[in-house]
Structure 1
């Protein structure tokens, strides 16, 4: 079934108050291989037109899709051939496509779960990847930024998946986000978030790691509509929230070991947790 290119509504800037988020509104918690069960979910994203939630279900080797109330809809991931999905790590929706990073490559599917193409190949050169993880699109030119984790860099592709450039000499980049002013890269370094301008020149590094500091073990992060930064802090079992000046403003307790956090168009905070609970939580 063909998927029409969604036209996302213009989002009006609001002031978001996270301090009232203490208990999840919805918690879908099941571990296993059945349709509505998860086994080491690592990343979550939302398709804003439908509100559907897409989860990289790593040890089930597939992507599972839930509606906005956390009710299971369908799953996808070819078991063989070019579209074979093996240990999916992260996913990103761009226009009518969903890109999934797994092993040493990137898979291109449509939103109905039909395989389209494979992007790049394993290696250390241009358009080659070694444990790619989080991806994001630059809305001004549709360039795609990809954290090339074990190659310690960020690669940039055009919307047609043509290599354009790369930057950084990171410890291990985990996540990347964009604003009009900055490129934010979450790295396994201390400080852990690095802010680059759009010429890829480092401007500053923020957020300290370790006991007694701001976060313990960040896995991923999101930037909400008020430019607050939400970090999935794996070791502290919480979502650590910072204002645009990187001052700590709130911590949302979650079930156990959050690996991914995002904010949808209704300003709900959506979290997946792995390890023993393997759950999806909506705040």
Structure 2
């Protein structure tokens, strides 16, 4: 991307035919399960910032930021275990994002990327504060390219995406953004939320920008996109922090549905049973399943 020509996001067009999603999101109005009250015990959450699901077991992994750990729940939202960090600072300080890659859990926190087994055993860590290769400044969203297991990391305050190999070797980077907060990949595209605009950038896998879509404003109705998820049909589910909803768009960025959730949703995912799993801040029940 040409850093001398900043990205100019364009509004979504209104002349695209709506594509019916495979999952009928319009039927998801009330949660099937509400669990994990806010607090500091093992089975409760404080400021959860990311959620993902192990496709093999259905277990739900949540980055519990203010409790400095990752907590794991089964598919019925029953607490199983938690794990913390012994890398450098002696604890997992404010984990911001996590993703499952085969038999590993990769976590972004502070200025590092951590590597764990699915049962919470520490394997390795990489990174330090800086602007160079394998250096980070407040890394946030993290995603996996399923075709080769490359790791895509939102290097938030460095306004770029860093790409690492599965063994944590630097491969490439692209930018520049304006505080990239979350990244997701499909077979065709790379999606990045630019936090301060706010908008979603759509790239091909050669890192060529295809379009930028404004998420705020009339017709889109997303106030403050915190993170998002791309389902198997390339529908886009956005955790809208300020409107207390999950906003869902088809691949052409046309609105499909808004799922009302508890106060301040921070992350959303979809499991193998087409259930929408949401974590929220500042609410009685932080984990909700629709």
- Paired with 2:87 and 2:98, the residues of 1 have a C-alpha distance of 19
CA contact (8 A) 2:45 2:67 kept: yes
Describe the superposition over 1:38-64 as per-residue Cα deviations: whole angstroms up to 9, x where unpaired.
Answer: 111111000010000000001111110
Describe the superposition over 1:79-108 as per-residue Cα deviations: whole angstroms up to 9, x where unpaired.
Answer: 675663111111111111101111111111
CA contact (8 A) 1:43 1:260 kept: yes
Residue 225 of structure 1 is matched in structure 2 by 232
Point out where structure 1 has 5 or more consecutive residues left out of the alignment: 1-13
How big is the shift at 1:190?
A: 3.5
1:203 to 206, 210, 224: 210
Describe the superposition over 1:82-137 as per-residue Cα deviations: whole angstroms up to 9, x where unpaired.
Answer: 66311111111111110111111111111111111111221111110111111111
Describe the superposition over 1:11-58 as per-residue Cα deviations: whole angstroms up to 9, x where unpaired.
Answer: xxx811100000000001411111111111111000010000000001
Point out where structure 2 has 5 or more consecutive residues left out of the alignment: 1-20
Residue 256 of structure 1 is matched in structure 2 by 263
Closer, same or farther in 2 for the Cα pair 1:132/1:80, shift >3 Å? closer
- Paired with 2:194 and 2:103, the residues of 1 have a C-alpha distance of 29
Aligned: 1:163 with 2:162: no
Aligned: 1:89 with 2:59: no
Say what the alpha-carbon RMSD is for the aligned residues.
1.6
Aligned: 1:58 with 2:58: no
Aligned residue pairs total 270
Residue 129 of structure 1 is matched in structure 2 by 136
- Range moving further from structure 2, 202-211 or 121-130: 202-211
CA contact (8 A) 1:207 1:214 kept: no
Closer, same or farther in 2 for the Cα pair 1:83/1:91, shift >3 Å? farther
- Paired with 1:191 and 1:271, the residues of 2 have a C-alpha distance of 21
2:85 to 73, 78, 83: 78
Aligned: 1:119 with 2:126: yes
How big is the shift at 1:78?
A: 2.9
How big is the shift at 1:141?
A: 1.6
Aligned: 1:43 with 2:24: no
Aligned: 1:152 with 2:120: no
| Higher RCO (CA-CA < 8 Å; seq separation 6+) | 2
- Paired with 1:235 and 1:210, the residues of 2 have a C-alpha distance of 13
TM-score normalised over the length of structure 1: 0.91
- Paired with 1:205 and 1:124, the residues of 2 have a C-alpha distance of 25
